[in-house]
Structure 1
Amino acid sequence: MSLLRAAATVSSLTLLSRITGLARDIIIARLFGASALTDAFWVAFRIPNLMRRLFAEGAFSQAFIPILGEVKETSQNQESVRVFIDRVALVLLLTLTAVTVLGIVGAPAVVLFMASGMAGEDRLQAYESAVWMTRLMFPYIICMSLVAFASGVLNTYKRFAIPALTPVLLNLSMIGGSLLLQEHFAQPIYALAAGVMIGGIAQLAAQWFALWRLRLRPRLMTPAGAAFKDSTVRRVIRQMAPATLGVSVAQISLLINTNIATWLTPGSVTWLSFADRLMEFPTALIGVALGTVLLPTLSKANANKQNEHYSDLLDWGMRLVLLLGLPAALCMVMLADAMVATLFQYGAFDARDVAQTQTAVMAYSAGLIGLLMVKILAPGFYGRQDIRTPVKIAIGVLIGTQLLNVVLVPLLDHAGLALAIGLGACINASALYIGLRKRGIYRPATGWLLFLARQVIALLVMAGCLHWLGNQVNWTDGSLSVLGRAAWLGLTLSAGGVGYLATLMILGVRPGDFMRRPAPVTSTTVQ
């Protein structure tokens, strides 16, 4: 399977996941609006999500996938790969079970640390609700850590579809919970937390079945002592130490921002969460999809010492990020009000909520290219089992982001938090790029100036289309029907996209320029 085809597979299935996630958030907005209790849910949901990213999708995947790729390429038989998988799965399960128990017991302190603004007397109900939902959802990290493990194995074996599709199950479970389970809880918002747990179990079952079909389902009855003493497993653990620090830096930034948001106007956490949902579309469809297929391929190229091929893979990924990411960022900036109003302005979510969410979307958009580039550039280090360099960069970015918060939050309130994150991502991507260039890991291919010039012209044409059509409608007008808004938004986006692509075609850009898979080089010297 070519890289572009694999990325398209992941992207298309991820699109389904994001559509169901968007439907989930539309239903949440309609049923619950933006209030102190919805803030409590998003705070509680963010806690297991933070731990999941810390121990599972982030640090674990960065350490596990390159080493699994190396074991797969160098092992003489499949059984040695199976033993490695068995032992890593057991170590992960035992570690996360201990973390979950501690999290359930210490939930009041964890919530207070995450959202100190809820500690006041006027928000006591929100605080207590957040504690209750945190305890209910903490086991979610066990499910999702094993899901991340299974995804790493499946992606290494180029089975990209199931890992990209299973998040749909979480969204469907949350939708079902919000619609069907409210009457079973003292607080209707608790039904969402129950839906999260049901979705976590469903995702794990689907991934485990996929591993079983691949004959790689972990045998968790392996002796724990042998698992912890295994030299290759210990390599994963050693690699996880700096990886955990690196992911921790990003999550600490998120934690600080969430905490700050709880001190702002009630609803701020919810406005940021819905803005983040919109930003997840381009970040997942472009950045995550490309990063998912690149990391195993980069790891294989590194194991085979194909340095030129390694550089070509990074170049290919960066061009695709700009080709797709720049028009996405332009749409987010110019049509933020249109998107938010069309998707969320119903029921309890009013015009004021639209305006507040719109500013957050526009602020996030300033850093979209940075967010996407990090998904391509960071694997450039991970594929070579160098996790320490991105960690050092991330620590500097954390400090820079918080300094930006000091300046931007007093001026822009919750939108200042979003803008600081976006600008921090741009700093992160720039530092990663410089690091790859200095080490000779990445060497730009020819034709970059012409490529960028063509994009600038195409983006100007697109901006003209979006400006003219987008200004024909008052998007927050309550008299507009759902279908009317959606149809005009679809027309505006389509016209902008057609203008962009047609201009590129006229200027000589062809799909075939990105269809070719970079050919591996069989003989290179080690850098």
Structure 2
Amino acid sequence: MIKKSVRNLVSRANSKLTIKFAAIILASSTLLSSLLGFLRDRLLNSYYLDSYPDGIDAYTVAFTIPDFMFFILVSGALSVTFIPVFNQRMAKYNKKSAWELSSSVLNVLALLTLVTSILIIIFAEPLVKYIVGPGLSESSRSLAISMMRVIAINPFLFAIATVITSIQQAIGRFTFTALAPAIYNIGIIIGTIFFTNGINIFGIQLFEGGIMGVAMGVAFGSVLQLIIASVGLIGVGFDYQFKIFWKNKGFRKVMKLLPTRSMDQGLDYVNSIVETNMASRMGAGTVRAYQQGLTLHMMPINLIGVAISTAFFPNLTERLAIGRKDLFRKDLQSALRMITFLALPVAVLFFFLRGYVVSFIKNGGDTLIAGILGVLVISIFARSIYHIAARSFYAMEDTKTPLYISIFAIGLNILLAIVFSTVFKFGAYGLAWAQSIGALVEIIILLALMKIRIQGLFDIQFISGILRMVVASLVAGAVCYLFVVVFPLMDSDERFFSVFPKFCFVGLVSSTAYLFVSKILKLEEAEPIISYIKKIFLK
């Protein structure tokens, strides 16, 4: 009886959602995950950034190779290649083929990433010494090697979880998919708070503790994430088989599309390897500072660009599957406008509020992280748009065009990073400028090619709307700057609860100014938000 009730509860929670509600769920979960990420990073930075910079650099370096292998083998490559093919089978009511496809992809990627994880464990020492951490001190390098061997399990666990969540996304189920990243962060927080004191069971000391406990928390979080993702399969009807159906046409199609997109993802992550390599030579703590700047700038990208694009993507593939290019264009325009309406002012406000934002992850803030974040605001806007622009090509089952553009953009990024950091001696700021310029060039080329493919995509009405968003964002930025001058961060603002009220006040006033100007300029995207606020106040 209890088992049946739990099953029914999970099935209701995992029911199919509309695009709008799916976007809200994904954005809310991303916000929750980001807030937990803030807590995670605040704990780590408070414990180690000033007192043990070599240790926190080692922890940051340890992630690089496992993350790279996950991105190149699975990550976004799977969702954008698997979901369109899976949806085609479901649209034709061919569930047998769809489940054979799912089982085959799951088994292949699990086997592939298991081998990869084992290889990372074996070759962790040369990977750290020669590729991602050549500039680390001897003790820091040794620590990075040990932690990388613990974190090496991530690609295997993440691969299984990603296939499972991709199945749920394909059929419009987002609830447990949305919860998984937050659970992962909770695991790391548990490791930071508890595992750093060591693990003792029945008087047997299993683990001594220290910063290695954080790495143990990472592995623990990966296991929790997989469990939550698996719960989301209840009520979906997934017919898993421990078998690879090599003759399944859908599976062969995914395997054909997967390498191109995987290479695209992998090349994109090559930036991280190059930047980590260079940052390791810039003094203790620089690797962590640059990584923290990247993490902070990714929060709005995930919250806006990734969440909205993920919600729209299944619908875009369905439009093309039934031959409705007109509806595809309409949905793509809506997604582009929605992302621009949110990402543009957020990028502007992040620039002026960067000191406040950095203080959330480190008591008293950090000048280097704040400066890096200030440069990366360009990338916030460009990367937010990138996710829906790239997915528009993937919906057409074209993975090569984004790949070629990425190769060019990444090459430019690496070249600029080397020039800015070594020739012009910009240090970590040079890495940030290279990142922003590369992201901006990439999105310009993608949108230009998309305009050629989809006639009427950027019509007068669309361009007019974007220009009005720019005007509203500039006004919001001016208001934000004025209030930051009036309410600056003080030396006494070291605690979270002394900074947070100021941040909320300035952010709220600036956002209100943006909505007010958007209303005056008759931007349709502002209407639902204003209506919702009115309902709250009327109640």
Question: TM-score under structure 2 normalisation?
Answer: 0.89
Give CA-to-partner distance per residue, 1:134-158, whole Å, 9 cap, x none.
1111111111111111111111111
User: Which letter does structure 1 place at the counterpart of 2:298?
Assistant: E
Residue aligned with 1:263, SS: coil
Written as runs of structure 1 = structure 2, the 5 A alignment for 1:183-194 is 183-184=197-198, 185-186=207-208, 188-194=210-216
1:357 match: 369
**Alignment deviations for residues 313-357 of structure 1 (CA, whole Å, 9 cap, x no partner):** 21111111110011111111111112212x1342xxx65xx1000
1:205 paired with 2:227, answer yes
The 3-state SS of whatever aligns with 2:346 is helix
Give the aligned partner of residue 336 of structure 2: 318
434-443 or 269-278, which deviates more: 434-443
1:286 aligns with 2:304: yes
In structure 2, give the amino acid aligned to 1:190. M
* Matched pairs, number: 501
- Work out which of the residue numbers 247, 261, 264 in structure 1 matches 2:279: 261
**Using the alignment, how far apart are the partners of 1:168 and 1:7 within structure 2?**
16
Asked if the contact 2:66/2:117 (under 8 Å) is kept, the reply is: no
Q: Classify 1:445/1:29 alpha carbon distance in 2 versus 1 (closer, same or farther; 3 Å).
A: same
1:455 to 469, 472, 475: 469
**1:97 equivalent in structure 2:** 114
In structure 2, give the amino acid aligned to 1:18: S
Q: What residue identity is the alignment partner of 1:189? A: I
Question: Is contact 2:309-2:391 (8 Å) kept?
Answer: yes
Shift of 1:49: 1.8
Offset from partner CA, 1:277-297 (integer Å, 9 cap, x none)? 221221011001012112211
Q: Residue 412 of structure 1: SS of its match in structure 2?
A: coil
Distance across 1 between alignment mates of 2:416 and 2:406: 15
Structure 1 SS opposite 2:98: helix
Q: Separation in 1 of the partners of 2:333 and 2:256? A: 30
Q: Is the 8 A contact 2:69 2:116 kept in 1?
A: no
Match of 2:147 in 1: 133
> 2 CA distance for matches of 1:37 and 1:127?
9
Aligned equivalents of 1:243 and 1:482: distance in 2?
41
- What is the match of residue 231 of structure 1? 249
Structure 1 Cα separation of the partners of residues 516 and 257 of structure 2: 46
RMSD, aligned CA: 2.0
Residue-by-residue CA offset, 1:13-72 (whole Å, 9 max, x unaligned): 211111111111111111112511101101112322222222121222222111111222
Aligned residue among 336, 353, 366 for 1:335:
353
Q: Is 1:47–2:69 an aligned residue pair?
A: no
> Paired residue for 2:76, among 58, 62, 74?
58
Instruction: Give 2:533's aligned residue.
Output: none
Residue in structure 1 matched with residue 100 of structure 2 by the alignment: 83
* SS of 2:210 mapped into structure 1: coil
Supply the distance in 2 between the matched residues of 1:404 and 1:447 (Cα, whole angstroms): 36
Per-residue deviation, 1:217:
5.8
Of residues 229, 232, 240, the one that matches 1:218 is: 240
3-state SS of the aligned residue for 1:46? helix
Deviations 1:297-325 (A, max 9, x none): 11111211111111112111111111001
Q: Which residue of 155, 172, 176 corresponds with 2:190? A: 176
User: For the residues of structure 2 that align with 1:442 and 1:181, how far apart are their CA atoms?
Assistant: 56
The residue matched to 1:212 in structure 2 has which SS?
coil
Aligned to 2:398: 386
Q: What stretches of structure 1 of length at least 5 have no aligned partner? A: 516-527
Structure 2 residues without counterparts, runs of 5 or longer: 1-16, 199-206, 530-539
Whether contact under 8 Å (2:305, 2:384) holds in the other structure is: yes
Change (3 A) 1:428 1:479: closer
For residues 378-527 of structure 1, the aligned pairs below 5 Å read 378-409=390-421, 410-440=424-454, 443-475=457-489, 477-478=491-492, 481-511=495-525
Match of 2:268 among 235, 250, 253: 250
Percent identity for Structure 1 against Structure 2: 22
SS in structure 2 opposite 1:281? helix
Q: State the alpha-carbon separation in 1 of the partners of residues 45 and 525 from structure 2.
A: 39
1:446, CA displacement in angstroms?
A: 4.2
Secondary structure of 1:216's aligned partner: coil
Report if aligned partners of 2:413, 2:434 keep a CA contact under 8 Å in 1: yes
Listed one character per residue, the Cα deviations across residues 351-405 of structure 1 (whole Å, up to 9, x for unaligned) are: 5xx1000011011112221111110100011011110111111111111112211
Q: Aligned partners of 1:466 and 1:278: how far apart in 2?
A: 19
Q: Following TM superposition, by how much is the alpha carbon of 1:276 offset from its aligned partner in structure 2, in angstroms? A: 1.9
- Whole-Å Cα distance in 2 between the matches of residues 430 and 25 of structure 1? 33
